[in-house]
Amino acid sequence: LSGLFQPKPLANRHVLISAGPTVERIDPVRYLTNDSSGKMGIALAEAARDAGATVTLVHGPVREALPTGITTKAVESGDEMLEAMLADYDKQDLVIMAAAVADYRPTVRYDRKQKKIDGPLRIELEETTDILRTLGERKTNQILVGFAAETENLEKHAQQKLIRKQADFIVANDVSRADIGFSSDENQVTVYGNNHPAVHYDQQSKTRLAAALIEQFTEALQ
Ligand code: CTP
Ligand code: CA
């Protein structure tokens, strides 16, 4: 019974999380996207909710069932995700970019389905806005967390992202391993932080890992 009266660690806190892929349209029926399942971001949203936080989950198209007891916002493109993330950014205590944002979008988006042409089709791509970096530039008191999906030089790339995006933590995972990461139910990560020693989390279910990560980020809140 005593558990009933135990204050939850994230009570009265606001947590904003992004999950899943983004989609950049070429024309009304064709698009660029990636294999992100959204599982890690969804697990983080559930863990934050269970810790007592008011949670908003901004998500690209995902097959997973969305958690109850939180606010969910469905988006498609990186620009839509950016707008949704900025909407209530100022009141957040903890913000986690777990989404796999498409790095490029077509420079032209056609309103009509494009017909086949003779010879090879060339599609020109331009970079999308870096959402995490934008959030980093506008940071006030939020603890800001990003992910890093790497196939090599995990630590070096994660440390560079920490600085470039002005994040407080980067959760790095090795996506060269097929058994963990993107669409798997398990993950193994190392968290790099500003003025923090790296923390390694052994391979475990995304649910358990999410609870451990939320605990680590909660400790960094003032
Ligand atoms: N990210 C973002 N907006 C983008 C691209 C990435 O907010 N347009 C975020 C991701 O959600 C993640 C972090 O930045 O939290 C790192 O993403 P990652 O793909 O590992 O790094 P990039 O900066 O895109 O660099 P690269 O893909 O070349 O490794
Ligand atoms: Ca990327």
Q: Which residue owns the Cα nearest ligand 1 atom 16?
A: 148
> Residue 107's pLDDT is what?
98
pLDDT per residue as tens digits for the range 179-207: 776 678 999 999 999 888 999 999 999 99
pLDDT at 138: 98
**All domains of the chain, ordered by start, with CATH?**
9-102+124-220 (3.40.50.10300)
Query: Cβ contacts of residue 155 below 8 Å, gap of 6+?
Result: 172, 190, 192, 198
Residue 27 to residues 36, 74, 105, 222: CA-CA distances in angstroms?
Answer: 22, 20, 12, 46
Q: Check residue 174 and give its pLDDT.
A: 85
State yes or no: pLDDT of 3 exceeds 70: no
DSSP string, 3-52: GGGSPPTTTT-EEEEEESB--EEEETTEEE-----SHHHHHHHHHHHHTT
pLDDT digits (tens, 9 = 90+) for 63-109: 999 999 999 999 999 999 999 999 999 999 999 999 999 999 999 99
3-state SS assignment for residue 220: helix
Q: Is the CB of 149 under 6 A from ligand 1?
A: yes
* N-term to C-term CA, the chain: 29
For the stretch 98-139, pLDDT in tens is: 999 999 999 999 999 999 999 999 999 999 999 999 999 999
* Ligand 1 center from residue 220 Cα (angstroms): 22
Q: Which tokens in the block code for residue 72? A: 């969910």
9-24 tens-digit pLDDT = 999 999 999 999 999 9
> The pTM is what?
0.96
Give me the interface pTM, i.e. the ipTM: 0.99
Nearest to 169 by CA among 158, 155, 179: 158
pLDDT of residue 179: 75
Amino acid at 108: V
Ligand 1 proximity of 167 Cβ (cutoff 6 Å): no
What pLDDT does residue 1 have?
58
> Closest Cα to residue 105, out of 26, 11, 205?
26
Query: For a substitution probing ligand 1, which of 147, 163, 170, 190 has the most ligand atoms within 8 Å of its CB?
Result: 147
For the CA of 145, the nearest atom of ligand 1: 15
Q: Answer yes or no: 34 catalytic.
A: yes
CB within 8 Å of 35: residues ≥ 6 apart: 21, 100, 182, 183
pLDDT at 149 over 70: yes
Among 161, 164, 165, 173, residue to substitute to test ligand 1 (most atoms within 8 Å of Cβ): 161
Q: How far is the CA of 9 from the centre of ligand 2 (A)?
A: 32
| Averaged pLDDT, 137-160 | 95
The residue whose CA is least distant from atom 24 of ligand 1 is 103
- pLDDT, tens digit (0-9, with 9 covering 90-100), for 38-67: 999 999 999 999 999 999 999 999 999 999
Which residue owns the Cα nearest ligand 1 atom 4? 130
132 Cα to the center of ligand 1, angstroms: 7
Ligand 1 in reach of 161 Cβ (< 6 A): yes
pLDDT of residue 111: 96
